[in-house]
Amino acid sequence: MEVDINKIENRLLEEDDRIASYLKGQMSDEEDQAFLRELEEKPDMKERAIIMARLIKGLKEVGTAQDRETIGAILASDKQSVENATKNAFLKATVAQPATTKVFSMRKPAAWLSIAASLVFIVWLGIGYNDYRNITGLGEEYGNSSFTTEMVSRGSATSSDAEKKLERLFKNVQGNTDLAGTIYELSLCWELSIMETYNDYTDHSAEIGWNLAIAYLKDNDKKEALAVLTKMATIYDADNVMGKQVRELQQKIEDF
């Protein structure tokens, strides 16, 4: 049987409206009760209602905290600082505006263009291969450092689920096993480890970040490797061991 995607989306949009009406207290008592009963009957709608409630609560909490900070900043400022802030906002917006693009007319014969394109492609292939070897080579070279090979729990019987998970992922990086899947899992762990709130991954953020960067290099993804290292450089000072290693690798990648 064919399923009409538009119908499904319309049904979900209507449910969104009803969940929002409930949360705003716009329903009568009877409608309220009927809505709650419906949630019990429809697990998918119930899950989406809970998620919407979470989203709204999160936005409220983050928004209120930001508002408090702004009010505090305004109270601690003078009129001049406020005027400067508005001027900076205009300036920033002007700088961020895209430049107008000039349109050139193409008059060269197509044959010349295709020859030039072929030459560029051949050169690009050569450079690309060289780049590939350099980047993945860096992954291999730095992948042998103690930060990659050192295990989180060192085989302790009391290691947590998160530590066991990390050990498996770090071994994958070392052995070049399932790089795509490992990168996906490690990037989640990395995101969790640098969250402001303490969690199972917080204490291992240095090893997670390092292994993720190495995995990206081994996968020839220079851009993502640099993004992780750049973030790490903001966390680890240049005078500690990890900070030094991060900056050294960052520099080598940028040099290619």
Partner 1 sequence: MAVIELQQTQQKLNKFAAEQWDKTLAYLQGMFSLSRSDCEDIFQEAFIVLYKKITDGEFVLTSSLSTYFIGICRNKAYEKMRGMGKELNIIDEYPNGTKDDFEDERIDRLLALEDDAEDIEARKEAVVREIVSKLPPPCDKLLWGFYRDGFSMKTLATMFNYKSESSVKVTKHRCGEKFRARFTEISNYLFS
CB of 7 to partner 1, least distance (A): 13
Q: Which residues bind partner 1 (CB under 8 A)?
A: 9, 12-13, 16, 20, 22-25, 39, 46-63, 66-67, 69-77, 79, 81-86, 88-90, 92-93, 185, 188-189, 191-192, 195-197, 199-200
CB of 127 to partner 1, least distance (A): 32
CB of 189 to partner 1, least distance (A): 8
- 20 vs 116, which CB is nearer to partner 1? 20
CA Rg value for the chain: 27
- 20 vs 235, which CB is nearer to partner 1? 20
- Which tokens in the block code for residue 173? 């990086």
- 58 vs 181, which CB is nearer to partner 1? 58
Tell me which residue has tokens 């408090």: 68
Q: Is residue 214 a contact partner of residue 142, using CB atoms and an 8 Å limit?
A: yes
- 64 vs 144, which CB is nearer to partner 1? 64
CA dist 163 and 189 (Å) reads 11
- Which tokens in the block code for residue 112? 């010349």
DSSP H helices, the chain, are 5-23, 29-41, 43-75, 79-96, 110-143, 146-149, 161-174, 179-193, 205-218, 222-235, 241-255
- Which tokens in the block code for residue 74? 């305004």
* Residue 253 CB neighbours (<10 A): 20
- Closest to 179 measured CA to CA, from 231, 145, 150, 143: 143
- 72 vs 126, which CB is nearer to partner 1? 72
CB of 163 to partner 1, least distance (A): 14
CB of 142 to partner 1, least distance (A): 26
CB of 215 to partner 1, least distance (A): 17
Q: Long-range contacts for 78-83 (Cβ within 8 Å, ≥24 apart)? A: none
* Residue 176 CB neighbours (<10 A): 15
- 14 vs 248, which CB is nearer to partner 1? 14
